[in-house]
Structure 1
Amino acid sequence: MKEIYLIVSKNPSPFLMEMISHTLDGKEYIIINDYNYIPNLQNKRILFALELDEFGGNIFMQKFFNNLFKSNDSLKDSIGSVLIYNSRDDLYTKTMAQNIIFNANRLGATFPGRPLVEATKSLLNMKTLANAKDISLKEALFYSCSTLYDNLVNFEQTKFAKPKLLVLHSSNYQTSNTLKLWTMIKENLKDIDIKEIHIENGTVRDCIGCPYKTCKHYGEDTSCFYGGIMVEEVYPAILETDSILWICPNYNDSIAANLKAVINRLTALFRKTKFYDKSIFSIIVSGNSGSDALAKELISALNINKTFRLPPNFSIMETANDKDAILEIEDIERKAYDFSQNMMNYLKQ
């Protein structure tokens, strides 16, 4: 049995303790509740558990991560999951989860698909699951807690002799700093089967939220009401691939509309096929700042919601504004090489 390290402040609230108890029901675990004494957390299974304050934060967890960042690989080869409770309102749980996962990932942690259980004050975030299983909101929450444990303790990294990598982008090779960075990275990817799909303007209609039964009906046929490139190219490529690389220039602190539409349209495919066995990577280039905002957007949409695995250091993030400015960044070729090796170390046997 794999040992769990529980990161939680001293004297957690009774409700958070209930969530922890249903997650670790009868299992052995080690509590870490002193941010001044942190044991070696490399190659461990880690459960972050916290309750939010009025500002949507948690001072203990902030100080805990401040100490973790004294080393840039303090969570190397570890697997993580998160429990969050907000007793005050229905806000902040998802954004706090994004922060924890993003920062732990930068320190070397991997996150299995759907690594979060969040409890808002009303518990209405559990309504979909409660309706599907015909149980109460609280029962749905505790069911999710037990599932979280299973995903955490049973997670195993999968490697391939010749991994398949799907690359999605909506940019122009002549002008895009992000694609120039991808070109540098691609040169160092050896024995990987790479398939690129350019999501051109006008080729993907965004999801308009079909009724559940309609979406599920089309999803059962690996299709979608709107068809097009999503059904003809993207769905089959996702089903066939081992991992997806999202190439994301920063547009107003969000990913490009074309790629956002692709993510939204994954819902029909997700009705039939979960993505626990597939990983995501990203290349993010901002003209000014905000690369972390895009990385967290991808984490929330794809890792937390759509069950894709999040490999350690899943994203390379750079700042380059003018045409070809990416080529002027100090040590950019080394950074591109290091990122390519990180991808290969995770994917290749």
Structure 2
Amino acid sequence: MNRLTVLKFGTSERLEKMLASSLNKYEYDLITNVDDMNDLQNKKILFAIELGDTGINIEHMKMLNKIRLSGPDFMKDSIGCILINSLSELFSRAEARRTIFYANMAGCLFPGKPLSEATGSLRNFNTRQTITEGDVSLEDMLLLDSREVVERVMNYTAKKITAPNILTLYSGNPKTSNTYALWSMVKENLENYHITEIHVENGSIADCRGCPYKTCKHYSQSTNCFYGGIMVEEVYPAILDCDVLMMLCPNYNDSISANMSAVINRLTALYRKTKFYDKHFYSIIVSGFSGSDLLAQQLISALNINKTFMLPPKFALMETANNPGDVKKIENIEKKAAEFAKNIMSLL
């Protein structure tokens, strides 16, 4: 995989600048017609997305449609990243994480921080500009970011893990939770793994207080956080020790639970000191009615795009179950759990 495959549907002056800046060192094949998307296994893939003012790119939607209809192995053993441009302050993150979700379900891996996004004003680069030495424009920050995203994909090499450590975080009642019951089925099929489980109970974690960057950075130097508590005493060390992070996420009003959201928010202090590029993350998501894909995309945005966790192929096992125990009644659920465990064990 020495060449890059660029999937580009739509263009703009700024998107072309992003591409020119990030592709000048690499050989690549350019695909601009959905009908030419045929052999996308074992590739390094760059999604180049132009959203304009409306956030709607019909050709890009056709691309997602083809990915979904082409089966779960359409992008098997491929590695992806995204450059995306919007003329407004909206839509870029939503479309990026949706694209990652579709490609990931088709077998594509995404390394940590696989996205470079340009909002209309480029104010999304204000913080990075502030902490960067020298006089660097927002556009220069964008072009540098685009190069880094593509370089991560081009330099990526898979590393097999011996006797991996899995950290499982959950907040529900394990006696009644369908999500935990599904995890138990998966766990029965895992071999040669060391598993640590941390129950994030109600009231045990205060959410992030939004410290200024320098304050957060100060606490991070001692692997600490303003609020301390279970996050610093248990979760931070477990995160540092793990090879795989497993998030158990029942659907609460089309979102992960407040406790799990607080955990992710509080990871920021640890992230200031230690990046998580070498850590994989998976999730088991159970919805009472619908919406598991919304939680999957929320996790992609928070942990893969923002916090640099690696997103392995088919990272999420998603089911629908309402009453306690219903998940065990789903047809072929034990087979699905075994297949998900096998997917995790492919890291070995």
Q: TM-score, normalised by structure 1?
A: 0.97
Match of 1:254 in 2: 255
Q: Are 1:114 and 2:104 an aligned pair?
A: no
Q: Are 1:172 and 2:170 an aligned pair?
A: no
1:272-298 CA deviation, whole Å, 9 max, x = no partner? Answer: 000011010000000000000100000
Match of 2:94 in 1: 95
Match of 2:204 in 1: 203
Match of 1:76 in 2: 76
Shift of residue 9, structure 1, vs aligned partner: 2.1
Q: Are 1:181 and 2:178 an aligned pair?
A: no
1:212-262 CA deviation, whole Å, 9 max, x = no partner? Answer: 111111100001111000000000000011010000000000101111100
Q: Contact (CA 8 Å) 1:182, 1:283: kept in 2 or not?
A: yes
Partner Cα separation in structure 1 for residue 342 and residue 70 of structure 2: 24
Match of 2:36 in 1: 37
Instruction: Report the residue type matching 2:192 in the other structure.
Output: D
Partner Cα separation in structure 2 for residue 123 and residue 319 of structure 1: 39
Shift of residue 61, structure 1, vs aligned partner: 1.3
The alignment yields a C-alpha RMSD, in angstroms, of: 1.1
Partner Cα separation in structure 1 for residue 271 and residue 196 of structure 2: 21
Match of 2:236 in 1: 235
Instruction: Report the residue type matching 1:229 in the other structure.
Output: I
Match of 1:218 in 2: 219
Instruction: Report the residue type matching 2:28 in the other structure.
Output: Y
SS of alignment partner, residue 215 of structure 2 = helix
Partner Cα separation in structure 1 for residue 66 and residue 247 of structure 2: 31
Runs of 4+ in 1 over 4 A off after TM superposition: none
Partner Cα separation in structure 1 for residue 302 and residue 56 of structure 2: 21
SS of alignment partner, residue 118 of structure 1 = strand
Q: Contact (CA 8 Å) 1:46, 1:80: kept in 2 or not?
A: yes
Match of 1:136 in 2: 137
Shift of residue 188, structure 1, vs aligned partner: 0.3
Instruction: Report the residue type matching 1:149 in the other structure.
Output: V
Partner Cα separation in structure 1 for residue 24 and residue 203 of structure 2: 50
What runs of 5+ residues in structure 1 fail to find an aligned partner? none
SS of alignment partner, residue 52 of structure 1 = strand
SS of alignment partner, residue 131 of structure 2 = helix
Partner Cα separation in structure 2 for residue 153 and residue 63 of structure 1: 26
Partner Cα separation in structure 2 for residue 43 and residue 203 of structure 1: 44
Q: Are 1:315 and 2:316 an aligned pair?
A: yes
Instruction: Report the residue type matching 2:246 in the other structure.
Output: L
SS of alignment partner, residue 284 of structure 2 = strand
SS of alignment partner, residue 282 of structure 1 = strand
Range with greater deviation from structure 2 (148-157 or 306-315): 148-157
Paired residue total: 345
Partner Cα separation in structure 2 for residue 228 and residue 67 of structure 1: 47
Match of 1:20 in 2: 19
Partner Cα separation in structure 2 for residue 34 and residue 335 of structure 1: 35
Partner Cα separation in structure 2 for residue 309 and residue 70 of structure 1: 24
Partner Cα separation in structure 2 for residue 9 and residue 314 of structure 1: 26
Shift of residue 147, structure 1, vs aligned partner: 0.5
Shift of residue 26, structure 1, vs aligned partner: 3.5
What runs of 5+ residues in structure 2 fail to find an aligned partner? none
SS of alignment partner, residue 75 of structure 1 = coil
Shift of residue 70, structure 1, vs aligned partner: 2.3
Q: Are 1:244 and 2:245 an aligned pair?
A: yes
Q: Contact (CA 8 Å) 2:9, 2:50: kept in 1 or not?
A: no
Partner Cα separation in structure 2 for residue 149 and residue 97 of structure 1: 15
1:50-86 CA deviation, whole Å, 9 max, x = no partner? Answer: 1114441211111122222222211001000001101
Q: Contact (CA 8 Å) 1:32, 1:38: kept in 2 or not?
A: yes
Partner Cα separation in structure 2 for residue 137 and residue 282 of structure 1: 35
Instruction: Report the residue type matching 1:6 in the other structure.
Output: V
Q: Contact (CA 8 Å) 2:277, 2:308: kept in 1 or not?
A: yes
Match of 1:63 in 2: 62
Q: Contact (CA 8 Å) 1:76, 1:109: kept in 2 or not?
A: yes
Partner Cα separation in structure 2 for residue 65 and residue 267 of structure 1: 32
Partner Cα separation in structure 1 for residue 321 and residue 53 of structure 2: 37
1:16-72 CA deviation, whole Å, 9 max, x = no partner? Answer: 111111111242110011101223110100000011144412111111222222222
SS of alignment partner, residue 233 of structure 2 = helix
Q: Contact (CA 8 Å) 1:130, 1:139: kept in 2 or not?
A: no
Range with greater deviation from structure 2 (228-237 or 21-30): 21-30
